[in-house]
Structures are given as C-alpha cells and as structure tokens.
Structure 1
Amino acid sequence: MSTTPVLPTPGDAPSSIGVPPEPRSPARGVWARVRHVALPFGSLLLFLVLWQLLAASGTWSETLVPSPAKVWDAFVNVSTTHDGVRGYNGTYLVEHLGISLRRIALGAGIGIALGVLSGLLMGTVGWVRSLFEPWITFLRTLPPLAYFSLLVIWLGINEEPKVTLLAVAAFPPVAVSTTTAVVAVPKSLVEAARALGASRWDVVRDVVVPSALPQTLTGVRLAVGVAYSSLVAAELVNGLPGIGGMVKDAANYNNTPVVLVGIIAIGVSGLIIDGLLLRLERTAVPWRGHA
C-alpha cells in the first residue's frame, strides 16, 4: 500500500521543524540599540516642549508652574556660589544629595540586611513565619509619616529618626520577597541535598540562598525605591543639609524652581542607583530569565 506525500499548499504556514532561525541582520541590531537610546531622549524632549508651552500659556502663575529656564537657573544657583551665597542654605546641591544618599545607604542597608535575615528565618521555620508575618504586613501598610513623629519623640531630631525611618521603610519589601522565595524553593533540591549528607546550614547556603537570590534582589530594588519615596518624609524635621530638607524648606517659601530641582535630583539619582542594582542583579544571577 503506497502513500502519497502531502505537499503544502501556498496558503499553508511553513513548518519550523528542522528549519534554522533566520540570522538577525546587523541593521536590525543597530536600529534596536538606536531606538533604545532615542526613545527615552525623545520622550524627555517632548516633555520639555509641553512643559514650556504650559508655562508660556499663562494658565497658571509662574510661581506654580515655572518655565524650564527658571528651573535651570535655580539649578545653577544651588550648585554654585552666587552673590556671596553658597548653594542653598550654605550647601551645594551635590552636598545636599550626598548627605541624603548617605542616610539612605545606612538606613536602607540596615533594613535590607534585617529583611534578608528575617526572610530566611521565616521561610525555613514555619512557626516563625506564622508569628511575625502579620506584623510585617502591618508595618508594610503604614505610610512613613504615620510613625515618623513617634520616632522623633523617641529618638530626637538628629540623624537617628531619619535613619530609623528609612530602615523601617526598607525592611518589609525585602523580608516579604525573601520569605516568598525561600518557601518556593523546590523540595526536590532540598531533599537531594539532604540525601547527599548536607547539614541544615549546607542546605541553606548551597540550595536555599542561590534559589531565593533572584527574588531577594528584586525585593532589594523595591526596598531602595521605598526608601527614596520616604526620603522627604525622613527629612521633614531638621533635614538641612539634605536634598529632602532642601525641598521642604524651599516649599515653605513657595520657591517652586528649587523644589523642582530637588525632585529632579532625587529622581535622577534614583534612576542611576536602580540601574546599578539591576546590573548587579544581572551579574549575580545571570541565569534569571533563561531556561
């Protein structure tokens, strides 16, 4: 009994079985890189144009919506010495930003370290998770201003309440993400390690930590973002020098250009640090996103 091969009709989709993928053309790769850079700059240019048109329309007063040129002048003023005045309140913009970044590094660093340790403990010991998970959820839902005044009463108005607030803000995202990652570690890997004679510490070090690392690093990025969003709140009291304190002080005098300079400085520095953390994540867990 003979069989007749079925030939594909012109309308049939070609089969991909055994057919190598088409090589990516160099022009397409160059265009992808150009687009990756051009789109953000294009959106920034469009934003500046719309901002200038809005400021020039006179819909709102210049105090409420200053022009980009006014904000640039404010940036130059707070970054240099002008008319005998050094920056803003005697401190340059880069110094304000550096002091705030130091507070974030210390506070968020403490919160991240405690979050990782707590997440590993709650993920591996069930009763510890049942005991502390509701409290961490409760803490995660609180806005920073809800407990900052209490921290000021307890710790004074110097650096201690600011660093503590940033640590408390950064702690829950890391603790939650690490706990979730540890719980999700495949049981087969743990059982295989124990079958090979690994101790509990060996299992945590060689199996649990590497498996949980990708999601933990995501929690670290979230924690740094939460710490940044809490920066102005942390510097509401005695925040000068500091970029959040500069924003708050300028807002008291309706100095909108300086407020916008501070906001832009916080946002740009946050983007840079998030990019560095993303690069660290790709270096530490290069297998993420790959089968």
Structure 2
Amino acid sequence: MKKKWIGWLAIPFVLVIWFIISAQYPSYMFPSPIDVMHEAGTQWEKGEIQSHIALSLKRLGIGFIISMFLAFLIGIIAGASRLFRQFLMPIVTYFQATPPMAWAPLLIILLGLGDAPMIAVIIIASFFPILINVVQGMNQIPETHIRAARSLGAKGWKLAIYVYLPEIIPAAISGITVGFAISWRSLVAAEMIGGNAGIGYFISFNGQIGNASSVLLGILLIGFLALILDFLLLRPIQKRFASWAIR
C-alpha cells in the first residue's frame, strides 16, 4: 500500500470509535454518525447550513487578505529599516503572546454584532505569524542581491517588488499556514461568543437548544472545511512557492 493512502485509514477508524461511543448514550446526548448525516441532510434542505458556511468563509477571506497585505507591507518595511524593526518587535512580541480571542469581547463592544468584529479577530489572529515570518525572510536576503539590484537602478517600491517580495515568499508561506489555522479557530470561537451567524454561531445556538446532532455537525464542518481549504489552497501555494518545506 502506498504511503499516501495510509492517512485515509483514519476515517474508518474514527467512525468505528464514534459508533462504539454513541452506542453507550441516548441519541439526544451523543448522536451516531447516521444521526448526524440525517441532520446534515435536514439542514441542507432548509438551506440554513449553507448560509452559515458561506458567511464564515466570507469573513475568513476578507480578514485574511487584509491581514496578509498589512503583514507583507509592514514586514518589508521592518526588514528594510533596522530602526523601525527595533521599535516594532517589542510590540509584536506583546501582541503575539496575547490570545486573539481575548480581544473578541472588546471588539464586539466597539464594533457591535455582525461581520466587523469577526473580521477584526481574524486580522489580529493571522497578522503576527505572517509578519514575523516576513521579517525573518527579509533578514535572510543576501546583501549581494540587494546591492546588485541597487546597482541596476532599483530602489523604493521597485526594490520591494522585484527583490524583497520574491525572496521572502518561501518564509512568508510558513507564516500564512500558521496564521490560517489560528485565524480559522479564532473566527469560530468569536462567532460562538458574539456572532449572529456563521459556523460558530450555528454550534453555539444548537448547543443552547440541546440539538446535539447539529452541534456535532458544526464541529465536523470546522475540520472538513479546514481540510478542503488546506488541500485546495494552502498546499498548492506551498508546492509552488515553498516546496522545500514539504516533506
């Protein structure tokens, strides 16, 4: 059997364990896979679950794009300016040590319910891992590359686009991968605390009304959507720009 198929064995293993555990409890407390599949069909027919998924993915996309733009911009400036980097890094260390979800209650108070506080949580969660890796990538650029580009007339934004950006991409990909995982978890948690829609809200609401099947469905969707995004988006980016990091 090829090694790449070994991972798929985890699916039947988990299902067997799930069936065994669910057999020990009433279905309203711990539903079986069949119960959850039936609930998924019901929610799909109602059209409710699709709207929650779409909203969470929209929030994730907007927040992550803003976060990457800011992290690349500030990271390149910090990497190019030693003085700015020395000023910035203590601030980064402080915020990096603060859980993103610690900001959620304050953001909800300031921005109200809806998309704004959820997007803000995503930006906070993903910005710092990407920024740190961008700065590290800048520090690893050979000085000879920079001098050669400057000798050819590159400076300012041309130096950033044609030298800095291509050189930092492999390091930045690692930060993007970590930032994505943190931001996805933070988004779901924020939606559970103060969201009015989304996967996190779907789980929280159904937990309050005692619908265990929908709660488990929402939990499964969190991991399933992360896997889809990883296979369709993150891994192709890694293979294209940072194949050295994949083993």
Answer whether TM exceeds 0.5 for this pair: yes
Distance 1:152 1:124, change over 3 A: same
Matched, 1:221 2:188: no
- Unaligned 5+ residue runs, structure 2? none
Q: What is the distance in 2 between the residues matched to 1:99 and 1:125?
A: 39
Q: Which residue of 2 aligns with 1:281?
A: 238
Deviation of 1:103 (Å): 0.7
Q: Which residue of 2 aligns with 1:186?
A: 142
Matched, 1:66 2:31: yes
Q: What is the distance in 2 between the residues matched to 1:237 and 1:67?
A: 27
- Which stretch of the first structure deviates more once superposed, 68-77 or 202-211? 202-211
Instruction: Give TM-score, length-normalised by structure 1.
Output: 0.77
SS in 1 for 2:192: coil
Deviations 1:68-120 (A, max 9, x none): 1121122112111xxxxx3xxxx421221011100111112111111111111
**Which structure: greater helix fraction?**
2
SS in 2 for 1:51: helix
Q: Which residue of 2 aligns with 1:48?
A: 15
Q: What is the distance in 1 between the residues matched to 2:156 and 2:72?
A: 18
Q: What is the distance in 2 between the residues matched to 1:124 and 1:210?
A: 14
Matched, 1:157 2:122: no
Matched, 1:246 2:213: no
Amino acid at match of 1:282: K
Amino acid at match of 2:42: N
Matched positions, count? 245
Q: Which residue of 2 aligns with 1:199?
A: 155
Q: What is the distance in 2 between the residues matched to 1:50 and 1:147?
A: 37
Q: Which residue of 2 aligns with 1:5?
A: none
Distance 1:289 1:170, change over 3 A: closer
Larger Rg: 1
Q: What is the distance in 1 between the residues matched to 2:154 and 2:69?
A: 26
Amino acid at match of 1:70: D
Instruction: Give TM-score, length-normalised by structure 2.
Output: 0.90
Q: What is the distance in 1 between the residues matched to 2:128 and 2:159?
A: 25
- Unaligned 5+ residue runs, structure 1? 1-30, 81-85
Higher relative contact order (CA 8 A, sep 6+): 2
Matched, 1:79 2:44: yes
CA RMSD between the two structures? 2.1
